[in-house]
Amino acid sequence: MAIDLRPRSGVELIDASFQFMRENFALLFTTTAVTYAPIAMLEYLAAEDPTNVERMLVARLVTWVFASMAQAATIEIVATRYVGENITPADALRAVWKRLGTALVITFAYGLLVGVGTVFFIAPGIYFATKYFAAMAAAMVEGKPFGGAMERSAQLTLGSKRRLLNIFGLTLIIYIFLAAAAGGIAGTLASAPTAALLVRLFLAITNPFLFTLVTLVYFDLRIRREGLDLDFMMTPSHATPPTPVPG
């Protein structure tokens, strides 16, 4: 049975992301939990003493590094399973380690562009968010360096930003609402340090969905623009299609 490499609507992509999460939950959660463990530890310590500036700065630095790893590792898992190949959390993290510098620069630059753009009347932030959303996927899947990954994302999203906004907009609104609700409930039921752990656990469960959606949308853009489905099926190494993944 051939892999379902075809253009999909936004609803289909979101549904495929949920289905992928259900079928690969243990793999995704384990990978994310491993990378989020150091973050949770530092956030717990920082919450114990909010006036400790040094501890807070270290927590922010650790969050940047390991959250970047979590995002890149999830993309590696989704991309590998997308073509029907097996992968373990260790495999994904090894792949991330080889491109860690690029992953860190991409998350820093993306966050800076979106953050500064949002400050200036919001619209520029939305523009940068859609223009460069696929940079991490381009780095992990295609091995692009920082500049090449940003350029690749800009190329793939050309003329598609409104569609991307429609796909990601509602998803992010729901996600932010749920994250805020989880934070509020955790803060009510537990002390600040424990609440920080509970919120990080919630993110370890939900963030892989966002990164899965990012990866599937990245592939959808390549299918639409480059006929990735035809290229894949014509590659000799894939003359016998592998076992398909859900979605």
- Range 206-220 average pLDDT: 93
pLDDT confidence band for 234 (50 / 70 / 90): very low
pLDDT of residue 27: 95
Percent of the chain whose predicted confidence (pLDDT) is above 90: 59
pLDDT of residue 110: 96
Phi, psi of 122, rounded to the nearest 5 degrees = 70, -50
If 0-12 CB within 10 Å is exposed, 13-18 middle and 19+ buried, where does residue 243 land?
Answer: exposed
Residue 222 corresponds to which amino acid? R
pLDDT confidence band for 4 (50 / 70 / 90): low
pTM over 0.75: yes
Out of 16-20, 128-132, 187-191, pick the least confident: 187-191
Comparing 121 with 238, the larger pLDDT belongs to 121
pLDDT digits (tens, 9 = 90+) for 175-189: 787 777 767 777 787
pLDDT of residue 60: 92
Measure the CA–CA gap between 232 and 213, rounded to whole angstroms: 21
Please say if the pLDDT value at position 243 is more than 60. Answer: no
